[in-house]
A = this chain, B = another copy of it.
């Protein structure tokens, strides 16, 4: 079965499932680019702004799938991906005709992505795994990195859609390899976030002007996206997501599971996961990933009154 032809935006119907921090911006770009959008999200009110821009809301992923040529999903956990795409009654798969394309942009398990690919293939349909990097800022500015796994032909057909949402879009390999690349991405971010927070913690404690520290470090070998984008938010004590702690913990868990499966010991990743678990245990799982600073402050006793610490 050949891949569905995707002509001009105005004649291409895109389903969009999952209207969270990322999804809202990404779906908005697609509407602005002229695509006809069909949306589903568990909390219907989250789709209001998109509906006011012209999107149609449906009650199940299956109905979205029936009305769309391509369905993009970006939800929370692998179990949500499985539910949304593969549920026999309400999922995208039973709503698909042959030739249609599912693009899952959730960060999820490589093994699940491979299974989804096979399940869709059985029915003559197609699936790509296409997780993203770049955070809320990247989604808003349409500068996301998009790491794709699947077939070249399907990737080529979807490239115009990807290009509306991101800047660096790459086919990384077969099904699951978009997710594997995203795991490499999360591993690269993980201990880097510790590095950034510990650096600012040190600078604060010494009494340096931390804004100057961020600026001077950012023009040398310590330069990172995290420092430039999350450093200033930490200084303002603004810990809104961004990217949720609970989702990052999910990602790091998947990465550790995959590493373990391959017999790889990654000490930095293990430690970062532990610090994020400490943060979540403290009730901070709905904050952004840069709230790792709060876990470091906690283990340093900064959550106690400084007078109390000095007295002891």
Q: Which residue of B lies closest to A228 (CB)?
A: B223
Chain A contact residue count (CB 8 A cutoff): 74
A132 adjacent to chain B (CB < 8 Å): yes
- Chain B nearest CB from A235 CB (Å) reads 13
State which of B195, B263, B266, B271 has its C-beta within 8 Å of the C-beta of A192. Answer: B195
- Chain B nearest CB from A305 CB (Å) reads 15
How many copies of this chain does the complex contain?
2
Q: Is the beta-carbon distance between B201 and A266 smaller than 8 angstroms?
A: yes
Q: How many angstroms between the C-alpha atoms of A57 and B280 in the bound complex?
A: 60
Q: Is the beta-carbon distance between B145 and A216 smaller than 8 angstroms?
A: yes
Q: Is the beta-carbon distance between A172 and B221 smaller than 8 angstroms?
A: no
Contacts of A132 in B (CB 8 A): 220
Q: Which residue of B lies closest to A136 (CB)?
A: B221
**A266 with B202: in contact, given A172-B209, A185-B221 (CB under 8 Å)?**
yes
Q: How many angstroms between the C-alpha atoms of A200 and B188 in the bound complex?
A: 8
Q: Is the beta-carbon distance between A271 and B271 smaller than 8 angstroms?
A: yes
A300 adjacent to chain B (CB < 8 Å): yes
A173 adjacent to chain B (CB < 8 Å): yes
Known: A180-B206, A186-B222, A202-B255. 4 other contacts (CB 8 A): A185-B217, A189-B222, A194-B268, A202-B258
Residues of chain A having any CB pair with chain B under 8 Å? 132-135, 138, 143-145, 147, 167-168, 170, 172-173, 177, 180-181, 183-192, 194-196, 198-203, 205-209, 212-213, 215-217, 219-227, 229, 243, 255, 258-259, 262-269, 271-272, 275, 296, 299-300
